Structure 1
Amino acid sequence: MAALDLFGRRWALRILWELRDQTLGFRPLQQRCDGMSSSVLQQRLTELQETLLVERDAQDGYRLTPLGKGACDELRGLHRWSERWAAELDRAAPDGPDAKP
C-alpha cells in the first residue's frame, strides 16, 4: 500500500498524530480519537503496523517507529500552517477580531 493511499484513509493521520509524543494503549488511543469504532481503529493500526509506521510494545501499547516519527515531523509543519490559516480565517470573518462595529 502506498503511503499516500494509507494517509488518505479515515483516521490514519489522526492515529499517527495522537501517537506523536507517547505510547498509548488501544482504549486510550480510541478515546483520543473521539471514540472511533474499535473495528476501524484495529484496521488502521494493523495497516500502520504493516507499513512500518506503528509498532506494539511489550505492554500492548502502540508507538511510532522511526519512520512513523518522520511522518509526524512532516505533520507538525502542516499543523503549524493550519494554525496560521485558522487565525487568518478568524481575522477575515465578518464577525472576527478585525471586524468593524
Structure 2
Amino acid sequence: MRILWELRNVPQSFRELQARCDGMSPSVLNTRIKQLKEAQLIAKTTDGYQLTDIGLSLMDTLDPLREWAASWEEAFKLE
C-alpha cells in the first residue's frame, strides 16, 4: 500500500520510491514493484513508476477510508 500511496500523484523513480518508503531495502522494493506490475496496478514509464488506470481506481475506492482516518485523527486530537 505504501508504494501505491506514494505514486498517487506523480510518477516516481526507483530511488525516489525507496527514499519515500523509509529506505525500504532494494530487494524488498523490487519484489513489491514486480508484484504490483503483475497485478497491473503500476507500470514503468519513461518518468518512472506510475499508477495504471486500475491502480487509480483502487486509490479512488480507498479514498473514503483515508477521509475517515483523517477525521478520526482530528477528533482524537480534540480529546
Q: Does 1:20 pair with 2:11? A: no
1:39 Cα offset (Å):
1.0
| 1:26-59 deviation line (CA, Å, top 9, x unaligned) | 0001111111111111111000000000000135
Higher relative contact order (CA 8 A, sep 6+): 2
CA RMSD of aligned residues (A): 1.1
**Structure 2 residue aligned with 1:70, among 57, 60, 64?**
57
Higher strand share: 2
Larger radius of gyration: 1
Give 5+ residue unaligned stretches, structure 1. 1-12, 93-101
User: For residues 56 and 79 of structure 1, what CA distance do their matches in structure 2 show?
Assistant: 26
Aligned residue pairs: how many?
79
**Structure 2 residue aligned with 1:42, among 22, 30, 34?**
30
User: Structure 1 length as normaliser, TM-score?
Assistant: 0.73
Higher helix share: 2
User: For residues 77 and 18 of structure 1, what CA distance do their matches in structure 2 show?
Assistant: 17
Alignment identity in percent? 43
Tell me which stretches of 4 or more aligned residues in structure 1 moved more than 3 Å: none
